[in-house]
Amino acid sequence: MVAQGNTIGVLHLEFESATRLRNGSGKESFRESHQRLAISAASQIALSLASLQLRETLREQSIRDPLTRLFNRRFLEESLERELQIASRKKQAISVLFLDLDHFKRFNDTFGHDAGDMVLLALADLFREFFRSTDICCRYGGEEFAIILPESSAQDAAARADELRVAVKRLRLKYKKQTLGPLSLSAGVAAFPQHGSTSDDLLKIADQCLYQSKARGRDIVTVASPQTV
Ligand code: GH3
Ligand code: MG
Ligand code: MG
């Protein structure tokens, strides 16, 4: 099956071998009429499948960051609203983690922008391995990431963020035979319902905590406190 020049799939039909090849009158045979029907059905199916594939591709493009394939900021904001509703109904905690690479501008200046891109890709792979499949990992902006951790208290999320911080420090990456580094990241953590109940509040508080981690010297995790809220 072909649609818009792309091969979509194969439609396989089998007829009983006893099927008559030609009827006596010389009119169109049983097999020929079935073949015509099959070809017309196949082209309709191919078009439908192609349009479904296109829709899926467009949706993926609209919710993912093209470099890292992590979710984008828009998807994060939509997901957080939804996850908060679920958490509130189930009376569960939910945490938001903000992460930002330390001195990444200096890193780019030292090793080049392509090496920097490779670091972002490696980091995205690390996140995919490190976080649960139900966690939502996003590239929030340049070298800044946000993770939604459903069913996770502030303490759990902070412990997890600290393990990630250590894992990032241990990363030994190479680009064109050159060893890159050192790398570190700073983090901020805010949780529902402890620190806020709306997505805007949680994102703002997690970002403020991240800012505090930077002010306190970087390579650390800051959890929201009554002062931050
Ligand atoms: P800080 O520790 O305060 O976060 O310092 P920083 O240098 O990481 O922060 P700053 O905001 O000054 O600079 C961010 C840098 O991130 C600058 C920019 O070149 C880099 N960056 C953002 N997006 C990309 C990207 O897609 N690829 C690469 N290679 N670098 C990026
Ligand atoms: Mg940074
Ligand atoms: Mg930044």
**Nearest ligand to the C-alpha of residue 180?**
1
Residues 169 and 226: beta-carbon distance below 8 Å? no
- pLDDT confidence of residue 114: 97
- Within a domain: 68: no
Q: How confident is the model at residue 226 (pLDDT cuts 50, 70, 90)?
A: confident
Distance CA 208, CA 191 (A): 13
- 58 with 78, same domain: the answer is no
- Within a domain: 199: yes
Q: Which of 42, 63, 84 is the last residue of a domain?
A: 63
Residue 135's CATH number:
3.30.70.270
pLDDT in tens, 137-174: 999 999 999 999 999 999 999 999 999 999 999 999 99
Ligand 1 mutation target, pool 104, 108, 113, most atoms within 8 A of CB? 104
- 90 with 186, same domain: the answer is yes
- Within a domain: 52: yes
Segment 69-98 shows an average pLDDT of: 97
Higher pLDDT, 176 or 23: 176
Can you tell me whether residue 137 is helix, strand or coil?
Answer: strand
- Within a domain: 193: yes
- Within a domain: 122: yes
- 24 with 77, same domain: the answer is no
> 4: alpha, beta or left, given left = phi > 0 and alpha = psi -120 to 50?
left
Report the separation in Å between the CA atom of 143 and the middle of ligand 1, taken as the mean of its atom positions: 5
Helices 113-130 + 154-170 axis angle, to 10: 140
Domain count, the chain: 2
Q: Which of 63, 82, 110 is the last residue of a domain?
A: 63
Question: SS3 letters for 31-91?
Answer: HHHHHHHHHHHHHHHHHHHHHHHHHHHHHHHHHECCCCCCECHHHHHHHHHHHHHHHHHHC
Q: Hey, what are 122's tokens?
A: 């490696």
Look at residue 21 and tell me whether its pLDDT is greater than 90: no
What is the separation of C-alpha 98 from the centre of its chain, rounded to a whole number of angstroms? 16
Look at residue 24 and tell me whether its pLDDT is greater than 60: no
- 104 with 150, same domain: the answer is yes
Domain extent at residue 152: 73-228
Report the separation in Å between the CA atom of 210 and the middle of ligand 1, taken as the mean of its atom positions: 15
- Within a domain: 12: yes
Distance CA 103, CA 81 (A): 31
- 128 with 218, same domain: the answer is yes
Backbone angles phi, psi at 55, to 5 degrees: -60, -40
Distance CA 97, CA 130 (A): 14
- pLDDT confidence of residue 27: 62
- 102 with 58, same domain: the answer is no
How far are the Cα atoms of 75, 79, 183, 186 from residue 191, in angstroms, in the given order?
Answer: 19, 15, 27, 17
Q: Which of 14, 40, 63 is the last residue of a domain?
A: 63
Strand duo 94-101 + 6-7: pairing: unpaired
- 161 with 196, same domain: the answer is yes
Report residues near ion ligand 2: CB below 5 Å: 100-101, 104, 143
pTM of the model: 0.87
Q: How confident is the model at residue 20 (pLDDT cuts 50, 70, 90)?
A: low
What angle is formed at CA 221 by the lines to CA 202 and CA 133, rounded to 5 degrees? Answer: 65
- 83 with 146, same domain: the answer is yes
Residues 52 and 167: beta-carbon distance below 8 Å? no
- 97 with 147, same domain: the answer is yes
- 202 with 137, same domain: the answer is yes
- 167 with 203, same domain: the answer is yes
151: annotated active-site residue: no
- 59 with 82, same domain: the answer is no
Segment 41-56 shows an average pLDDT of: 94
